Amino acid sequence: MVDSFSQHYHQRTKYDPETIATKSQGLDWSQQPSSYKEYKIGTTYDLKPYLQSTKQDVDSHWWQRLSLFLLCSYGLTARIQTMGEPMYLRAAPSAGGLYPAEIYLVSRGNNLLPAGLYNYQVKDHTLIHFWANDVWQNIQVACFMHPALMVADLSLITTAVFYRSAWRYQDRAYRRIFLDTGHLLGNIELSGSMNGFRPYFIGGFIDRSINELLYLNPEQEGAVTVIPIVDLDARPDLIIPSFPSGLPSKINLEYPDLPDGRLLNYCHQMTEITEFRQLPANPTDVNLIQLDDKYNFPFCLKISTVTSPIDWQDNLPLSGLEDTILKRRSTRAYTGAGLTLNELNALLDFTYHPEHYAAQHLDPNPDYFDLDLIETFVVVSGVQGLEEGCYYYAPRAQELRQIRFKNFREQLHYLCLGQDLGRDAGAVVFHTADLQMAVQKYGDRAYRYLHLDAGHLGQRLNLAAIRLELGVSGIAGFFDDRVNEVLGIPEDEAVIYITTLGRPA
Ligand SMILES: Cc1cc2nc3c(=O)[nH]c(=O)nc-3n(C[C@H](O)[C@H](O)[C@H](O)COP(=O)(O)O)c2cc1C
């Protein structure tokens, strides 16, 4: 069977021990891009004063919620002194700290935010109003009249500035850009709940229309998600008809033989949507998967992961979550000591069972693009009460099913390109997907959705780990095919993302 372009891209950007040395280029520091977008003209709305404000009037309260929502999604949360300019880290993690995502805010126009386009200026926590015309209707058309856009007054749009990440990771940056944005979506979902907003994730839109509306140069920057924000404080009982978060694009089976260095931009083009396409009506195999977990091995060891939910309340509802988001950092080293089984169960519970958190005012059914396409494997190197080895995590049954029994520490070190994080973690989570099946359902656009969802799950794992005082770090660089071979993950499952979990050193 011929690969579609996104499958070809995936194949071409695999890391392999034989070729990695020839593929990696040294970094050209003179070309290092800035992680911040600047606008010369526009009206600035300072969000900082609202973080401290104790005013109780309706308008101040709205600004406080918006300010905290953006801060906890993508705001600066740490400053690192370097020899030159200080480096700032953000509420969402990013591969290499390169932050390719930009956040725009579109207002339909209310008494507080006039209609038009705003850019969230992360560095000084302000909004800059750079375009004053009402573009709401254009967004609705570009998003095929998604019902959340009928009722929302505000929408975020996230974009990616490709070169920020490609500067370091070349063509493979496309994967990291979408994983990064997935982490950001995790923050947007949870910070939304903390502040009375319900974000709807739209991945199926006409790219060209959204790019033009934001005045982007499509060679450099492209829209990734449109996120209408419904104000639950103003409309608590509103019911919005369901609508798919992801829509299909074409399946591209014919494409030129591109040289390295041109794959990233081409992949973005090949995953664009140009017209409305229905999702396949009733794909029988997909239906089967929805009822049951994908893999079952009749005689394997099965461990229940059922546990009580993580408590996110401190003094106030969800204040423990806010605190966790603001202090989250990627762990740089683990001690090698183990986790408890209860800790691992709690991490899985928060990540895959949002419905257990409704009583804590979190969204029991947050938007993903299509979690039926993502599978989870957990390699256990140090979890008290659990045999070492590779397990399939069955989210519906809430159990771990053992595939291979072995201590994989040294192999994990190698598979994660020699990173100690892989070797010293107590558990390493692998998110995978059958690309062929995903492309059948969503065309080449599937490639975007899979990475966004894997990043979103990764962010929930991150926050749960920090709340439990564990260490956590994403890893997007690994020897793709070797992971399957060594750990026994089925060949059809392309590894999309790795999250390491352990005791911080
Ligand atoms: C998609 C993704 C891939 C990452 N890959 C690695 C990795 O391979 N090795 C590593 O040490 N950290 C990795 N990280 C962590 C980043 O280095 C970290 O997020 C960044 O330096 C910002 O720091 P912070 O997470 O503490 O805010 C990754 C993070 C993301 C989101």
One domain for residues 228 and 103 = yes
Is 277 domain-assigned? no
Q: How far apart are CA 106 and CA 235, in angstroms?
A: 19
* pTM higher than the cut 0.85: yes
Is 17 domain-assigned? no
Q: How far apart are CA 36 and CA 16, in angstroms?
A: 33
Q: Is the pLDDT of residue 172 over 80?
A: yes
* Residue among 475, 478, 496, 500 whose CB has most ligand 1 atoms within 8 A, to mutate: 475
One domain for residues 195 and 52 = yes
Which residue among 205, 237, 270 closes a domain?
Answer: 270
Is 482 domain-assigned? yes
**Domain with 393 in it: what CATH number?**
3.40.109.10
pLDDT at 248: 98
Q: Closest Cα to atom 26, ligand 1: which residue?
A: 329
One domain for residues 130 and 153 = yes
Q: Is 68 helix (H, G, I), strand (E, B) or coil?
A: helix
One domain for residues 351 and 426 = yes
Contact 360, 309 (CB under 8 A): yes
Q: Is the pLDDT of residue 58 over 70?
A: yes
Any atom of ligand 1 within 6 Å of the Cβ of 91 = no
* CA–centroid distance, residue 97 to ligand 1 (Å): 7
Contact 391, 374 (CB under 8 A): no
Q: Is the pLDDT of residue 497 over 90?
A: yes
One domain for residues 100 and 244 = yes
Q: How far apart are CA 146 and CA 154, in angstroms?
A: 14
Domain that holds residue 386: 284-502
Is 384 domain-assigned? yes
One domain for residues 209 and 179 = yes
Give the closest residue to 92 by CA, choosing from 220, 188, 234, 174.
Answer: 188
Amino acid at 477: G
pLDDT class for 262, splitting at 50, 70, 90? very high
Q: Considering the chain, what is the average pLDDT of its residues?
A: 96
* Three-state SS sequence of 108-172: CCCCCCCCEEEEEECCCCEEEEEECCCCHHHHHHHCCCCCHHHHCCEEEEEEEEHHHHHHHHHHH
Is 34 domain-assigned? no
Any atom of ligand 1 within 6 Å of the Cβ of 473 = yes
Q: How far apart are CA 147 and CA 244, in angstroms?
A: 10
Contact 470, 345 (CB under 8 A): no
Which residue among 237, 270, 303 closes a domain?
Answer: 270
Give the closest residue to 427 by CA, choosing from 347, 330, 326.
Answer: 347
Which has more confidence, 91 or 110? Answer: 91
Q: How far apart are CA 26 and CA 20, in angstroms?
A: 12
How many other C-beta atoms can be found within 10 angstroms of the C-beta atom of residue 126?
18
Q: Closest Cα to atom 21, ligand 1: which residue?
A: 97
Q: How far apart are CA 112 and CA 503, in angstroms?
A: 46
One domain for residues 213 and 289 = no
* CA–centroid distance, residue 472 to ligand 1 (Å): 10
pLDDT digits (tens, 9 = 90+) for 24-50: 778 888 889 999 999 999 999 999 999
Alpha helices in 195-331, H assignment, sequence order: 207-213, 263-270, 284-291, 319-327
Between β-strands 126-131 and 116-121, what pairing exists: parallel, antiparallel or unpaired? antiparallel
**57 burial via Cβ count (<10 Å: 0-12, 13-18, 19+):** exposed
Amino acid at 326: L
One domain for residues 197 and 255 = yes
* CA–centroid distance, residue 455 to ligand 1 (Å): 12
Q: Is the pLDDT of residue 404 over 90?
A: yes
Any atom of ligand 1 within 6 Å of the Cβ of 68 = no
One domain for residues 187 and 311 = no
- Count how many domains the chain has: 2
One domain for residues 294 and 437 = yes
DSSP characters for 455-491? HHHHHHHHHHHHHTT-EEEEE---BHHHHHHHHT--T
Any atom of ligand 1 within 6 Å of the Cβ of 424 = no
Any atom of ligand 1 within 6 Å of the Cβ of 451 = no
Any atom of ligand 1 within 6 Å of the Cβ of 400 = no
Q: What proportion of the chain, given as a percentage, has pLDDT over 70?
A: 98
pLDDT class for 289, splitting at 50, 70, 90? very low
Residue whose token pair is 């979902």: 189
Is 279 domain-assigned? no
Q: Is the pLDDT of residue 287 over 90?
A: no
Q: How far apart are CA 141 and CA 144, in angstroms?
A: 5
Q: In which element (H, E) is residue 437 found? A: helix 435-442
